Structure 1
Amino acid sequence: MSILERLGLSVPILQAPMAGVSTARMAAAVSNAGALGGIAVGATDAAGAAAMMAETRALTDRPFNVNLFVHDDPTPDPGVEAGWLEALSPTFAAYGAELPKALRTIYRSFAADDAMLAALLAHPLAVVSFHFGLPDAGKIEALKGAGCLLLATATSLEEARAAGAAGIDAVVAQGWEAGGHRGVFDPQAADDRLGTFALTRLLVAEGGLPVIAAGGIMDGAGVRAALDLGAVAAQLGTAFIACPESAADEAYRAALASEAARHTTMTRAVSGRPARCLANRFTALGESLTATVPAYPIAYDAGKALNAAAKAKGEGGYGAQWAGQGAPVARSLPTAELIATLKAEMG
């Protein structure tokens, strides 16, 4: 039985579960339209995840995806963190804000979060997906035992093969074009930066698992191209940012509709890991600084504080405005209408 058949999908599209953008309303609308919606719980705790899952279940009886971050917990480096805060201090001062006294590890990795596992197992879940890496065998066994179909992001053949060896059911082939955080298992290792279609074809030919193509796909023609390369489905993220059901704020939406969409850039400055973002004040600031960026998600503590300080003064250009290279052709449509349009464009 194929993944689409197992999930009962009539549209071979997954909505990328984007932390800070995806909502229960969006995920439910996608799933109700015959595709697979998704929510991201990597930026919250077990209680927050349980609430998000309950809200989504209240809006749909269809399958949806719950996404988790599986990164290595960072080792704090007070010297690096102090240097980064010092580099950011003039910008904090420009917005009349107090510089944080210290930086925290704001997100807990699923790799060490047994409470999150318990929340996932408390009610049946159709799909659970992993970003940044893979959990241990015990967590994978527990989720599979509960009937979950497991997905993992892969940016290389080596990562895809590791996912297969661990018992993952399918891989999301994340190309260099993709918006948001690069899903590499080791952010310090060399990255071949394979494009979506090259990576998709490689993983279809040699990866050994069903492949879901992701990165730069914005319309039905792109979905069809991914299927023609052997993918079982395509995952779209940036295509959903402008939907009214997304949590993107007005500054984010305005930036997506502006010239900035034509100049996305990969940056570590916002969070500490490489991530593709609309060109904005934060990406420009990051390019100008020579200080070492702290590890993820410690750097994100500073990024969120700076964004909050700037927004309080009416400046929205320091947000984590993640977007892929297809951003210029984003459409502002209700989620269900976007799914119907994508399906029609597939032919």
Structure 2
Amino acid sequence: MINQTDNRMLLRVLGIQLPIIQAPMAGVNTPALAAAVSNAGGLGSLGVGAMNAEAARKVIRETRALTTEPFNVNVFCHRPATADRTVERQWLDWLAPLFEQFDSAPPPLLSEIYTSFVTDSAMLKVFVEEKPAVVSFHFGLPPSAVIDALRNAGIKLLASATNLKEAAEVAASGVDAIVAQGIEAGGHRGVFDPQAPDDRLGTFALTRLLVKEFRLPVIASGGIMDGAGIAAALALGAQAAQLGTAFVACPETSIDEGYRRAILGESARHTTFTTAISGRLARSMKNKFTELGSDSRSPEPPPYPIAYDAGKALHAAAKAKGEFGYGAQWAGQAAALARSLPATELFSQLVSELNESVRQLQRFSG
């Protein structure tokens, strides 16, 4: 039976009405999407991990112009990459024939295209000044002084975890809730240490473990696409569900036509993990880039996000010639359930499905 009292506790903390959070998806989210979800009663999100501080300030202000409701701003807390020119050269040489197919050449050098929030004082300054209602962390946690600064600014904090050890670090850090990212989730796996063994826990197993182990509210994330999935997460003790792939096909997102065709077609039935696109393990629909990464002759890609510099360049070269198969087409395991609906309409359907699922549970238990 769903514990509605506990659910209301988290909703009060986040300042939202309904236990539905739109996942932050860097490069996919827009102010229009985040605002639509927040205006509908959930928590909309912006993924600014791939932006510099002033770009983040701009989208925060654009979102605030569209909604007076709370929204979440997400950052990446990965360990900054260490450049290895030998590894980078091997990777560029491996990709060179593909660039040639599209009348292009790989970049002469690769760079760390994203600044980790653990070292980004400019981004922290923006958050303290702009005071978004919620800030969330992926790939780890920033230093305690940063967490204290955000909390002192009145910002509520979320952090993702993929196992019990990471969740214990999150719980000890002073954040307000744990996002339980299951193996089914699309996009980048949120492990703190990519070199450590990965338990690869599913969303429901991880959610239940964290609910039993920790006093912090738990937000279930990964493979949840409809109201029935949200109800199942709440029944396991989660106080909200976070959905990303479910919103990717909404017209408010910034995805290109190739990504949109893929997630609404046969490709959505087949997802896989790859490090080839960005240098870090991420779940994508199978495409030409994931096939490249599974080639046994492939050298090791540079670390995240240095490899992403090459990945984005290859996608741009291919896309200019009408080939979309080298894009980062991130999607969760249940991507085939995606719906191409305006965000407000999709959110309304999610709420209706959730309510119907709760009624079914109540009939079953009564």
TM range (shorter): over 0.9
5 Å-filtered alignment, 1:94-109, equals 94-109=101-116
**CA-atom RMSD in angstroms:** 0.9
Residue 343 (1) aligns with residue 351 (2): yes
Residue 276 (1) aligns with residue 283 (2): yes
Q: Within 2, Cα distance between the matches of 1:226 and 1:118?
A: 35
Residue 141 (1) aligns with residue 141 (2): no
Please report how far the alpha carbon of residue 286 of structure 1 lies from its aligned counterpart in structure 2 after TM superposition.
1.0
5 Å-filtered alignment, 1:1-347, equals 2-288=9-295, 289-347=297-355
Deviations, residues 137-164 of structure 1 (Å, cap 9, x unaligned): 1100000011111000100011011011
8 Å CA contact 1:73–1:109 kept in 2: the answer is: yes
Give the 3-state SS of the residue equivalent to 1:9 in structure 2.
Answer: coil
Please report how far the alpha carbon of residue 3 of structure 1 lies from its aligned counterpart in structure 2 after TM superposition.
2.0
8 Å CA contact 2:182–2:222 kept in 1: the answer is: yes
Give the 3-state SS of the residue equivalent to 2:167 in structure 1.
Answer: helix
Q: Within 2, Cα distance between the matches of 1:67 and 1:27?
A: 12
Deviations, residues 8-48 of structure 1 (Å, cap 9, x unaligned): 32210000010011000000000000000000111010010
8 Å CA contact 2:292–2:298 kept in 1: the answer is: no
8 Å CA contact 1:157–1:207 kept in 2: the answer is: no
TM-score (norm 1): 0.99
Any stretches of 5+ residues in structure 2 without a counterpart?
A: 1-7, 356-366
TM-score (norm 2): 0.94
Give the 3-state SS of the residue equivalent to 1:122 in structure 2.
Answer: helix
Aligned residues: 347
8 Å CA contact 1:64–1:126 kept in 2: the answer is: yes
8 Å CA contact 2:264–2:339 kept in 1: the answer is: no
8 Å CA contact 1:161–1:208 kept in 2: the answer is: no
Deviations, residues 166-211 of structure 1 (Å, cap 9, x unaligned): 1111111000000000000001110010000000000000133210
Give the 3-state SS of the residue equivalent to 2:158 in structure 1.
Answer: strand
Q: Within 2, Cα distance between the matches of 1:145 and 1:342?
A: 34
8 Å CA contact 2:60–2:132 kept in 1: the answer is: no
Q: Which moved more, 1:127-136 or 1:90-99?
A: 90-99
8 Å CA contact 2:57–2:130 kept in 1: the answer is: no
